[in-house]
């Protein structure tokens, strides 16, 4: 019995297209002040990033990148972090405006 693997062609085409551009996808960074607000809120809760990761379902490394301003959160992530970290409404509004 013979099987045809169509996914290999699809994956190859996607890889070739990405390699053809030879440019990394742009990654938006969080404003340092707002990243600091996330870090400060975390410190105020006395919870570790690993504990917060378990509660939120977000990865530990992603949370650390957010707190260092290396990543831009989605609106859903802003909502989750605001709830878990008790982030002030004004900071949450600024985060929402950025995403």
CATH no. of 32-98: 1.10.260.40
Q: Which two tokens stand for residue 76?
A: 């859903």
The pLDDT profile of the chain, 99 residues, written as one tens digit per residue, is 444 444 444 444 444 444 444 444 456 777 787 788 888 889 999 899 999 999 999 999 999 999 898 998 888 888 899 889 888 777 777 777 766
Sign of CA dihedral 42, 47, 48, 50: negative
Length of the chain: 99
**Domain range summary for the chain, segments of one domain joined by +:** 32-98
């Amino acid at each position: 019995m013979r099987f045809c693997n169509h996914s290999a062609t699809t994956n190859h085409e996607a890889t070739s297209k990405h390699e053809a551009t030879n440019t990394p996808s742009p990654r938006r960074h969080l404003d340092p002040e707002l990243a600091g607000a996330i870090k400060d809120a975390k410190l105020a809760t006395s919870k570790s990033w690993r504990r917060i990761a378990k509660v939120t379902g977000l990865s530990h490394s992603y949370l650390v990148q957010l707190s260092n301003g290396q990543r831009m959160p989605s609106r859903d992530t802003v909502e989750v972090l605001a709830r878990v970290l008790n982030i002030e409404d004004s900071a949450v509004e600024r985060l929402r405006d950025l995403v």
